[in-house]
Amino acid sequence: MKYLRSIISVLLVVVMVFGLSAVGFAQEVELEFFQNKREAVETFDRLIEKFEKENPDINIEQNHVPDAETVLKSRLTRNNIPDIMGLGGNFTYGQIADAGILENFDDASYLTSTQTAYREMLQDLHEGNSNYGIPFTANANTVLYNKDKFDELGLDIPQTWDEFIETAETIQENDGTPFYLTFKDAWTIMVPWNSLAANLQGENFIQRRKDNEVTFKENYKKVAERIYELLDYGQDDVFGFGYSQGNQAFANGESFMYIQGVWAINPILESNPDLNLGAFALSAVNDAAENMLVSGVDTVLTMNKNTDHPEAAEKFIKFLLEEENAQFYIDQQMTFSSVENVFQEDPTVVDLKEYFETGNIAPFPDHYYPSGMQVPNLIQGFLHEGNVEEFLEELDSEWNKVQSR
């Protein structure tokens, strides 16, 4: 009897140990956060560290890979869907939303803490008016400029396209380089292209193009002509240098201006912290009051609707949307927040503030081009050849091919 009681006691201890282990194991949640911005890895790491301290039972594994959109599409075909995602607010996001694999956030109370304009930009990317993601941050296409160099020549920020070109000519007349162009990397061509197209393509162009009411050939001639004109004001061999080289060259004072997005500000200042840097919207038209800043959703937060841990995944998204954390992110990344009451106050981008205050903001046109068109490569080829008519016909042809698939 004594022996039997000993066995029972041992068994009870074993059951308790395994029971406690099972409870502990059940409480440990592992989530993958797949995001597409290489420059934001460290910033997200710091936010994840803070989140995990507040939520010790949840582990977030950040996953960033080169060519993230292609990798994600490949994973989706294998039904290997990350728990949480930070994606660009572009055509690919719209495709993923239409695939029916993302959570619907229509009833999420925190959705209304984000700005309506950016929610609508995301809705326009997919069918219907539901919200399959939460806009987290916004970026902007800009012309970065060296304030000290501008002061040396007594230059003001140009308010119209004609003034923009006059400014470039004045710089050349004084033996300076107006722009450092990085067209070796085709994607960088989209910065001036989007600024011009958003202002010149006409109202509702994308929808009207989908309905075959207009064509690129009809509406984009001025866009093509003006981006080609920029070649006259770049450094020698604008197709021989890429983004990283452009950041370094501009930081070193090799040009007065640099047509890039706000995402380039941090890398430039890391190279030259003493650079007196400013940013303005590319003046694409000759009516200053009509000129629009191109801004879109830089990161949309979303989640797999079939994740094994929906509450934990949603908790991380809500954490990122908290004002303190949203502010930390934009301060680190020099972007703008889609979260209400969170503002970018850095003096570098102060001249962009009026566009947000007046609502003179337009979405990125290329976010609505079918990805199969390979528009950056088409524009790069056009800039080599210079035939406007052939290029615009090719844009229409490629649009039609992709849309008919």
Tell me which residue has tokens 């008519």: 389
Mean local confidence (pLDDT), 340-367: 89
- Matching fold, domains 30-138+296-349 and 140-294+362-404: yes
Cα distance between residue 184 and residue 186, in whole Å: 6
Mean local confidence (pLDDT), 61-87: 92
- pLDDT at residue 358 in the model: 83
pLDDT tier, 405 (very low <50, low <70, confident <90, very high otherwise) = confident
Is the model's pLDDT at 27 over the cut of 70?
A: no
Model confidence pLDDT, tens digit, residues 357-389: 888 889 999 988 987 899 999 999 999 999 999
Could you please report the per-residue DSSP string of 211-242? Answer: TTS--HHHH-HHHHHHHHHGGGGB-S-TTS--
Mean local confidence (pLDDT), 239-261: 97
Share of the chain above pLDDT 90, in %: 81
Model confidence pLDDT, tens digit, residues 267-290: 999 999 999 999 999 999 999 999
Model confidence pLDDT, tens digit, residues 33-62: 999 998 899 999 999 999 999 999 999 999
pLDDT tier, 356 (very low <50, low <70, confident <90, very high otherwise) = confident
Is the model's pLDDT at 189 over the cut of 60?
A: yes
User: In the CATH scheme, what is the code of domain 30-138+296-349?
Assistant: 3.40.190.10
Is the model's pLDDT at 16 over the cut of 90?
A: no
Q: What mean pLDDT, rounded, does the chain reach?
A: 91
User: Which residues, at least 6 apart from 278, have a Cβ–Cβ distance to it below 8 Å?
Assistant: 144, 145, 147, 150, 157, 348, 350, 351
User: In the CATH scheme, what is the code of domain 140-294+362-404?
Assistant: 3.40.190.10
pLDDT tier, 10 (very low <50, low <70, confident <90, very high otherwise) = very low
pLDDT tier, 262 (very low <50, low <70, confident <90, very high otherwise) = very high
- pLDDT at residue 371 in the model: 77
DSSP-based three-state secondary structure for 144 = strand
Mean local confidence (pLDDT), 142-162: 97
Mean local confidence (pLDDT), 311-327: 97
Could you say which DSSP state residue 114 is in? B
Burial grade of 299 (CB within 10 A; 0-12, 13-18, 19 or more):
buried
Cα distance between residue 218 and residue 273, in whole Å: 45
Q: What is the pTM of this model?
A: 0.81
Contact 44, 33 (CB under 8 A): yes
Contact 366, 190 (CB under 8 A): yes
Is the model's pLDDT at 402 over the cut of 70?
A: yes
Give the start-end residues of each E strand in 15-111: 29-35, 58-63, 84-87
Domain ranges across the chain:
30-138+296-349, 140-294+362-404
- pLDDT at residue 359 in the model: 81
Model confidence pLDDT, tens digit, residues 99-136: 999 999 999 999 999 999 899 999 999 999 999 999 99
- H or E, element range at 48: helix 41-54
pLDDT tier, 17 (very low <50, low <70, confident <90, very high otherwise) = very low
